[in-house]
A = this chain, B = another copy of it.
């Protein structure tokens, strides 16, 4: 349904948003979101390429959001790493169908559209501010001051 990669990307973005007071380093994000660090590194690169986060190398560097949480939808995040593709043309390319989709694929596309819309209207801010019993990811909000990483 939703790829592992997309799930990871969402977790990372939420984590970065939750700790927006300072750039977050890959290792820390990985730890806080339980995503394998080596793989996460690649996902973060995709997010940076899509302009959702900004990266900064060197000491004190890491990743920060490129826009306020209210401006980032989870659709953008998903699309950055694993684009949701609508069915706009017949998957079997039957000449007789042309542009029009048959009833089956019309239904499929409608379902995809539902998800797309739901994702589009959900922003990071909503996720952060939502009053649920569990705070998103991570046991506790990590402190800012540096500490022995071991």
Q: CB within 8 Å of B: which residues of A?
A: 1-2, 7, 10-11, 14, 33-34, 74, 84-85, 90-92, 94-98, 100-104, 106-108, 110-112, 114-115, 118-119, 122, 126-128, 130, 132-139
Contact = CB atoms under 8 A, between A and B. Distances in A.
Nearest to A139: B96
A81 to B, nearest CB: 14
How many chain copies?
2
A108 B2 contact: yes
Nearest to A13: B104
A28 B122 CA distance: 45
B134 A92 contact: no
Nearest to A2: B108
13 contacts: A1-B112, A2-B108, A2-B112, A10-B104, A33-B92, A96-B134, A96-B139, A101-B134, A102-B135, A103-B126, A103-B136, A107-B127, A114-B115
